Structure 1
Amino acid sequence: MRRALETLVTGILRSRLGVALALAVVVLGVVGAARLVSGISGDDPGLSGAPVEPIATVDPTTGNDGVLATEAPPTPRTSPGAPAPEEVARKFATAWLAHDGVPAEQWFDRLRPFSTAGLAERLSGVDPAGVPADRLTGKLEIVTRSEELVEVNVPVDAGTLRLELVAPQGRWLVDAVDWERG
């Protein structure tokens, strides 16, 4: 026995191959002992104790917060007898474009019935000569944001007139005017 241990220590464990084999036996022994102690066999797929159903990260009763809308946009609400938002937008745009040779006060008086008080205040004193377009060139594009907010894109000869209409009491009025050169 002593001779066998001597040969083992002096012969085999002094070589790189012998050390590698000894380490492999130790590692396999540790892994085998761990498997025996933990009781897990190699036949079970997946993690132990994993849920059977998918994990929900959002309450399923909350609304859709996705980028693509699945519901139809709301219908603009108009009081009985009041004009629809597209009609108000067309009348405002027509009055806005009728600026050649018209005094500022007369031009403003044509816009006032279709404007909110805030917009009328901002338009007061504006020189109509600065209006960069002269005529409508296509169909109005209406984008409904809510029952009381609508955006209307009006194509004109020099670009697009963008109008924002609000209807807090069901009567549509232009609240903001923007311009995009075409």
Structure 2
Amino acid sequence: MRRVLQLLGTSVLRSRLGVAVVLAIVVLGIVGVARVVAGPEGRSTGNLQPVETSTAEASADSREGDDGVVEPAPTSSTKLDPGPSLSPGGAKPETVAEAFAEAWLDRTAKADAWHAALVPNATAELATKLEGVDPVVVPAQRLTGPPKVVPQGSGLAEVSYPVDSGTLVLRMVVGQGRWLVDGVDWERG
């Protein structure tokens, strides 16, 4: 090693370029070792066990596209959660969202009346969060277009309304047999 250092000269090793070259060699060496250890697909092959799936599941996945998530197949002893259910004749999410949005945009109301108008269409958690809020801080004044409803899953949806200053986004959930607003967001337009 001493002989190599003498050949390179101490001035080269002390220079910034010399230090950069040595660091680059060290980093490339570490990356090379990591790739060798990681295996052919770039994943660590440590103590991983293969996941077994049945051929019926595999063929269903190939038809629908593989999302990379492996879930165990339900067994006969597993009770499936039917998810939230709507009462017969329950209002659509956009109908509830519009009633909530109209009340939310009423910046002229007194704080107590404003909150009381929101409560019938909000979850208990959201109603609690909105207690004491002054409606003057609402960043919009009116709806300017139709809603856009995006289902998010069983009993979940997102309803977006264009407003005069951006977009009002309401997170909807099924609760108490009907759609309720569970979250309010505003995106500047």
1:170 alignment counterpart: 177
How far apart are the structure 1 equivalents of 2:174 and 2:101? 18
Asked if the contact 2:165–2:188 (Cα under 8 Å) also holds between the matched residues in 1, the reply is: yes
1:131 alignment counterpart: 138
Shift of 1:65: 2.9
Q: Percent identity?
A: 50
Shift of 1:59: 2.5
2:65 alignment counterpart: 64
Pick one of 121, 133, 143 that aligns with 2:128: 121
Q: Which amino acid aligns with 2:97?
A: A
Go from structure 1 to structure 2 and tell me whether the alpha carbon gap of 1:82 and 1:59 turns closer, same or farther (over 3 Å shift).
closer
How far apart are the structure 1 equivalents of 2:154 and 2:185? 21
User: In the alignment, is residue 96 of structure 1 matched against residue 104 of structure 2?
Assistant: yes
User: In the alignment, is residue 84 of structure 1 matched against residue 96 of structure 2?
Assistant: no
Q: Which amino acid aligns with 1:88?
A: V
1:9 alignment counterpart: none
Q: Which amino acid aligns with 1:80?
A: P
Q: Secondary structure at the match of 1:178?
A: strand
Go from structure 1 to structure 2 and tell me whether the alpha carbon gap of 1:168 and 1:107 turns closer, same or farther (over 3 Å shift).
closer
**Paired residues, what number?**
117
Go from structure 1 to structure 2 and tell me whether the alpha carbon gap of 1:123 and 1:131 turns closer, same or farther (over 3 Å shift).
same
Asked if the contact 1:78–1:84 (Cα under 8 Å) also holds between the matched residues in 2, the reply is: no
How far apart are the structure 2 equivalents of 1:165 and 1:65? 28
Q: Secondary structure at the match of 2:159?
A: strand
Go from structure 1 to structure 2 and tell me whether the alpha carbon gap of 1:121 and 1:138 turns closer, same or farther (over 3 Å shift).
same
How big is the alpha-carbon RMSD for the aligned residues of Structure 1 and Structure 2?
2.3
Q: Secondary structure at the match of 1:172?
A: strand
2:162 alignment counterpart: 155
How far apart are the structure 1 equivalents of 2:94 and 2:85? 12
Write the deviation string for residues 32-58 of structure 1: whole angstroms up to 9, x where unpaired.
xxxxxxxxxxxxxxxxxxxxxxxx9x9
How far apart are the structure 2 equivalents of 1:136 and 1:178? 14
Q: Secondary structure at the match of 1:167?
A: strand
How far apart are the structure 2 equivalents of 1:89 and 1:115? 9
How far apart are the structure 1 equivalents of 2:165 and 2:175? 32
Go from structure 1 to structure 2 and tell me whether the alpha carbon gap of 1:169 and 1:103 turns closer, same or farther (over 3 Å shift).
closer
Asked if the contact 2:123–2:175 (Cα under 8 Å) also holds between the matched residues in 1, the reply is: no
**Ranges in structure 1 where 5+ consecutive residues have no aligned partner:** 1-55, 68-75
Shift of 1:173: 0.2
Q: Secondary structure at the match of 1:161?
A: strand
